Amino acid sequence: MASLLLTEGVVVVIQCIFSFSIILYLFNIEILGSTSLAVGITLLMGLGGVSMGMLIASFCDEEISAVMLAIATFFPNMILSGIIWPIEGMPIIMQYLTYLLPCKLAAESIRSIISRGWGFSHTGVWPGFATTAAWIAFYLLLTLLIHKFRFSQL
């Protein structure tokens, strides 16, 4: 697991470098806050995706079932967490349910860093880092437990 996290972490870093290079130099989008904070939350979200992928792969026997499960978790997370569709346009019950999604607070954090210039100590920024780190820890712990119980039966 550590070697997979390390190798996939390198891929996430490269993707983040390319993404921010395009944002800053090709599209000339101004980041009002700290660029390092924006890169940090982006890297953390990428590692969250990698750890969720490891979790999905740990209990799927076939590749097609892993792909279908990944799509089934990815699209609702993106649509309902406010990244693609604004949360304010949802019914009030759905707005509260979005707080259970892994990307909701991280999306708010990166939006606050880039467009509002808020720092890490602001209450609109640090919860995104904390919840993303907690989701990563949860995914990795669950992956370890699945591997322990699934492969100890063999």
Number of domains the chain contains:
1
* 29-83 pLDDT tens trace: 999 999 999 999 999 999 999 999 999 999 888 999 999 999 999 888 888 888 8
Residue with tokens 């707080």: 99
Find the domain containing 121 and state its range. 2-151
Question: Nearest Cα to 117, choosing from 52, 44, 7, 37?
Answer: 37
Task: Write down the pTM of the prediction.
Answer: 0.90
Q: What pLDDT, on a 0 to 100 scale, did the predictor assign at position 154?
A: 58
